[in-house]
Amino acid sequence: SFLGLTGYFRRFIPGYAHVARPLSDLLKQDVVFQVGDEQEAAFTELKRRLTEAPVLRIYSPEAEATELHTDASQWGFGAVLLQKDSNDGKLHPVCYMSRKTTEAQRNYHSYELEVLAIVEAL
């Protein structure tokens, strides 16, 4: 399946869980499988993100700086691990992670969701 393929590469796709949500929601047991504009847009966006930059860098223990950036919302959370390149002085992505929130997690306060994103990323 398309979600199986893209899910395998999810750590290379920024915001994967958020972008894939309209498609993954179709897999729920009590949902009628009907593809509309939202699902078509998600399909197109996942294809685009899978085939374009930014290209991930290999983790380097000797990097000048390593940063973990996280973000969370009611519908999902994600993180990106960045390292500073000594040649250009810019932060470059090493890996991404993202996940949809569970029904229970959707009731968490925003602070709790942010902490959850950090814990899951580590």
Task: Express each pLDDT in 60-72 by its tens digit.
Answer: 999 999 999 999 9
Domain segments of the chain as ranges:
1-52, 55-122
Q: How far apart are CA 77 and CA 53, in angstroms?
A: 21
* DSSP code of residue 52: S
Mean pLDDT of the chain: 90
The number of CA neighbours under 13 Å toward the Cβ of 52 is 7
pLDDT score for 122? 92
Q: How far apart are CA 83 and CA 19, in angstroms?
A: 25
In CATH, the architecture of 55-122 is Roll (3.10)
Question: pTM above 0.85?
Answer: no
Task: Express each pLDDT in 50-100 by its tens digit.
Answer: 877 677 889 999 999 999 999 999 989 989 999 998 888 888 889 989 899
